[in-house]
Structure 1
């Protein structure tokens, strides 16, 4: 096995081991935990039921209630009136208070009653008026009301000065203790154990039928409520949550049975049983909240509307009600999977609905072990298989694995089981990315080796394309629109006579290297060198939508490179050289062409021949660069504006009947007067008005006496004035020589 293959397998194994260790708890990863939470939240939102149970309503102390009835806390008499209205006028079945009354209400009249009796004889024998707490207690005693309170845990910062508990707790839960399979001692279970509590005044708690806590010490590290404990252990006694206390009251307050088993020298709590209603829990007696929808899914009525009697009785009659608040100022808003801002009272409503419908999802104790085994098998399969697969097959299998894993997980979800999802998805993604990267690296190394060999025989700029697309080596080639360039050095034969043969190779490299560099820098492909001549094309092997523009820019760069080379030649005592360049755009046959013994990546066709003919005409017209009308039309309007052009001639080249319009690429933009003279002279010439054309060209020569093109057309105008062309003359000049 190659070193690269060993590296690929080793890296894959390390990724699998890392995920296995994280899932088993050896090195927990906050990132993976966060991904699991996100995947859980996504599943929750994707599978929300259509509606919440109608038998549960929320009586909301909302902003409207605070505006109408005053800021919280309200007078206890007003709370008593609200409770009495709910039961007497709206006939609710049960009321849970997501509130706590831990302090006595201040009653100034009752406090000053003794002094008033001394001052007013009429009050001497009268009893003091009843306080709000006593009135609220009497009201609560008349109805099935479950109070609320909360536990607290000591922070390390205030451990030295712990705060005392306030109020009194309700009676604890009664544990069912069968003679066979007795439950474990509470001290053997990892239950939540608070340090203190803030509960209701004794007079209120003793009047109620029960009470439950509404705090949640199991909020996840990202601050989102996903699970809530059903019970907490305070001083070796179990106390229920507010929804559980309400549910237990509906059942007639049956004892609770702990479902726990002993394994691995420790007790494992798996659930709680209340009168035959079983709730699966985690080891700390917490359940996953059965969400029914975003905030407002449960029927919600305003407390102010209840007191004013404006609520439809059908919304409350026979229902189970929870009194709580959604007003932001009362600090009972939570972050949940279904809403970033969610009233705490609706969390209790969701839990109570889940109890009534037995609608709890559960993460079983075997989930970790099953996930570890699944990750191990999946990792082994991918580690063995993926190094042998091409990229398409690898991606296809990975996509199938992702879909299969997600589908299996969703099936378990609908069966009530919450199994880890993100770890399996992450394993597939990481191993896919790793193996793709390794396969790419190995293939790149192989391509580099092939490139080093092919580079000895074919132009280097084609090697990567040939290696990546071996099917491109088709001898028949392909027809594409390309731009071809031919260049030839003027007077090179006489130049070479002045250079010693031993130095000629150096001079050729000195000439052709900057020319080749100019072509490559503008994305051109060198076709071949023909002595001092160069043939190149644009648009292949790699597609180039701007091939005409890049070819023209390459031609300009070649002329500039020749200027620098001529300076070097002069310093060496050699004469300067001139170069003619012809550029043409059209359909050409491009591909690997040749024989079984030797091939070359080249272009063929009539348009290639025309490009060669255009280059030859640069000598006739005395222009460094000539481009065809087809090349000009292939440029965008913006590109043509950047390019200083002037019309040269409409010609027929030898061996071709169709005429072609030629343009000169100028080294600099002419002034407006010169541009006008040249353009107007050409237009007059094409129209056969040789006298007018002659005047324009004379004007151009007055500005630039050495303008070879203006000289040529001046002489041609003189000729046509002496020997007029035929009546059907089309303005095309036919060249009989190449």
Structure 2
């Protein structure tokens, strides 16, 4: 008794030591996560996970709303092919704008393109020489330049131009060029708004002075707030240049649409610091972060808004109903014009459609925003949650930790999506990472402690009491039942062709090494598809799917395993050939049906295996692969159980030892991966087989011979042609059912 008590004291001390280590490491993990969220560590892993979780929430909650009042006039590939490569003559652009307003009656045009350089005018360049040669000619060319013509057209209509700022300037970059539009008018405020952390560019590229002066206004279309992974999630509403605020293009359009009302900045003080929380433009309240960044209010994937090709506008082919009264953004989606961006809703997304999305969000007030207190609240919540998990989780069993963690995850997701639906974007990934990390750590440690407890009990008490009693004291897992039963399963037989002759050239020691090199990747291919190896028979392999665990899609898994085996053999052959050895081929047969599975054998030796008529049929099919010169053959039942694969009908056969005929097929791969040409050839082949089965041998022979011109390597075509020749010369009886009898295994 004293020994047991002493051992108990030792174990309790060991337990508390483990518990202390577990909690200290848990606190270290908590500090690591808090540091990641706060930005103290350089890895920024949690930040990237937050970006991914934000993208996932965007994708799963797209509203699909369509605003017919916003239309994109697109410089697409059709337009470039019809009108010519960009840049187009300014006269063409002027005609496009004029047609939009006069013929299609749009209400406002935003141009997501910058005209930074004057258009080259060949006539103006040679006019001085012409005037010198012919003094009677006027001093100036008789027609206005393309830039002047475009400026005249823009002055007649409400047009908002686009330009771009550049945040990082190198010595190779040219100085600022063009004329900036007028900045926005700010409502009077006593706040020191200029000290806020606005994006502050170092140069700009804007439109020619004559064009900008003719326009109603302008806005930038660059984005200095692109996240570190290159994805457009937020854009600045303003950038600060020489003490003035300039809006982005969609905001500039709204600004002009509302008659240029004063912009009221929503600035609040927190912790003695001023922070921008949004803007009010004529009653339209737009939430922002401290740098005037607004999250893009995505509605749908690319092509969600109405697109009209610029070519159709110029040729008068566009539907006027789409454009009348619309707010139009002119931009480019053609890949060559480089205005494609990576976004949460598409890795290749046109920049003009981002501006259209922002404009729709402004008009519909559908922006989501991160509350100003987001970071502080996230850190406080993570700290409280981490402390509670550190205190309670070590006291609970692993299953309890798992259940509570799943409950907390569910609550975390539910609250986050509730806030999302209310317009708040709260951190999601940091809480998930903390829960998974701490739950995984504590579950692992709890399992380890329980395992060590069992081992300690066994080692400590096994010397004093019988092992049978120790086992009774320790918890017992349920033994796996391997009793025989009948199940619906799929069996696979494979055999390497020509391996006997191949092996005769090898020394016995080398043969063993080659066998291992051959069977290891083949076995791995079967295991990767959850198959069970039944036995090895020299270079042959027998495997099955559907036991000991139930597999509803065992036939499909077996087919994937067969293809994986062929790929593995191809890799082995590549090595063999490089070593001067001959390449090997493999035949694989599969059958699906009821089979007996379980521990079978004698009192001296048992094996977990399958037996039955359907098992034998799988073996026969493997043997037939050599006759038909195909790598894989499957039965009708396997084909029916895995309909997602494409199959070539091979034959209706009666194999040795089986009275009933069976239809056999060659699997070709997934149906979805077949090309149109492959499907057409397969359809033609099956029509030829149908003619053969209907005893129309002359038609079938002609069809098979036609197919042989396209696929001369396909052995089954030669087989059917020979049969057609045979049956044409010696017609079968009226009871002929198209069955070919094989007398060999």
Q: What TM-score, normalized to structure 2?
A: 0.62
Aligned-residue offset at 1:444: 1.4
Larger deviation: 455-464 or 74-83? 455-464
CA contact (8 A) 1:110 1:129 kept: no
DSSP-derived class of the 2:214 partner: coil
Indicate which of 36, 55, 60 corresponds to 1:46.
Answer: 60
Per the alignment, residue 171 of structure 1 pairs with 182
Residue 358 (structure 1) aligned with residue 393 (structure 2): no
The answer to whether residue 377 in structure 2 is matched with residue 394 in structure 1 is no
Mark the runs of 5 or more structure 2 residues left unpaired by the alignment: 1-12, 485-530, 536-600, 617-745
Distance 1:471 1:41 in 2: 44
Does 1:70 pair with 2:84?
yes
Q: Residues 228 and 461 from structure 1, CA distance in 2 versus in 1: closer, same or farther, beyond 3 angstroms?
A: farther
1:184 equivalenced with 2:195 (yes/no):
no
Deviations 1:550-608 (A, max 9, x none): xxxxxxxxxxxxxxxxxxxxxxxxxxxxxxxxxxxxxxxxxxxxxxxxxxxxxxxxxxx
Distance 1:272 1:398, change over 3 A: same
2:672 paired residue number: none
- Whether the aligned pair in 2 keeps the contact of 1:183 and 1:258 (CA below 8 Å) is no
Aligned to 2:238: 231
CA distance in 1, matches of 2:609, 2:186: 89
Give the CA deviation at 1:128.
3.2
Structure 2 match to 1:411: 418
Larger radius of gyration: 1
Correspondence list, 1:588-599, <5 A: none
**Corresponding residue to 1:259 among 247, 266, 272:** 266
Deviation by residue 1:689-728 (Cα, 9 ceiling, x = unmatched)? xxxxxxxxxxxxxxxxxxxxxxxxxxxxxxxxxxxxxxxx
The match for 2:292 among 260, 285, 288 is: 285
Distance 1:198 1:633 in 2: 79
The separation in 1 between residues aligned to 2:461 and 2:332, in whole angstroms, is 78
Could you list the per-position Cα deviations for residues 491-514 of structure 1 after superposition, in whole angstroms to 9, with x for gaps in the alignment?
Answer: xxxxxxxxxxxxxxxxxxxxxxxx
Task: Give the SS at the match of 1:282.
Answer: coil
Partner Cα distance (1:73, 1:451) in 2: 83
Structure 2: distance between partners of 1:340 and 1:481: 54
- Number of the residue aligned with 1:438: 445
- Partner residue, 1:111: 125
Q: Look up the match of 1:311.
A: 318
Contact 2:265 2:276 in 1 (8 A): yes
Q: 1:17 aligns with which of 31, 39, 61?
A: 31
1: CA distance between counterparts of 2:48 and 2:468? 48
Q: Which of 428, 432, 450 does residue 421 from structure 1 map onto? A: 428
Pair 1:256–1:221, CA change in 2 (3 A): same
- Say whether the 8 Å CA contact 1:151–1:213 is kept in structure 2: yes
Rounded Cα–Cα distance in structure 2 between residues aligned with 1:71 and 1:471: 74
Q: Deviations over 1:352-396 (max 9, x none)?
A: 000000111001110111111111221122112111211221111
**Matches for 1:723-738 after TM superposition, within 5 Å:** none
State the secondary structure of the residue aligned to 2:291: coil
CA distance in 2, matches of 1:295, 1:337: 11
- CA–CA distance in 1 between the matches of 2:76 and 2:466? 79
2:99 and 2:314 in contact (8 A); partners too = yes
Consecutive unaligned residues of structure 1, counting only runs of 5 or more, are 473-477, 483-544, 550-626, 642-738
In structure 2, relative to structure 1, the CA distance for the partners of 1:459 and 1:344 (3 Å cut) is farther
1:374 maps to which of 373, 377, 381: 381
Give how far 1:300 is off. Answer: 0.4
SS of residue matched to 2:343:
coil
Shift of 1:195: 0.8
Aligned counterpart, 2:257: 250
Superposed CA RMSD in Å reads: 3.1
Aligned to 1:538: none
Q: Distance in 1 between matches of 2:136 and 2:224?
A: 55
Quote how far apart the aligned CAs of 1:118 are: 3.9
The structure-2 alpha-carbon separation of the partners of 1:256 and 1:466, relative to structure 1 and needing over 3 Å to count, comes to same
1:31, CA displacement in angstroms? 1.1
Report the Cα distance in structure 2 between the residues aligned to 1:470 and 1:220, rounded to whole angstroms: 50
Q: Is the 8 A contact 2:123 2:141 kept in 1?
A: no
What is the alpha-carbon distance in structure 1 between the residues aligned to residue 214 and residue 156 of structure 2?
Answer: 8
SS of the equivalent of 1:206 reads: helix
Structure 1, residues 387-444: CA drift from partner, whole Å, max 9, x if none? Answer: 1211221111100000100110000011110010000011110110110111112111
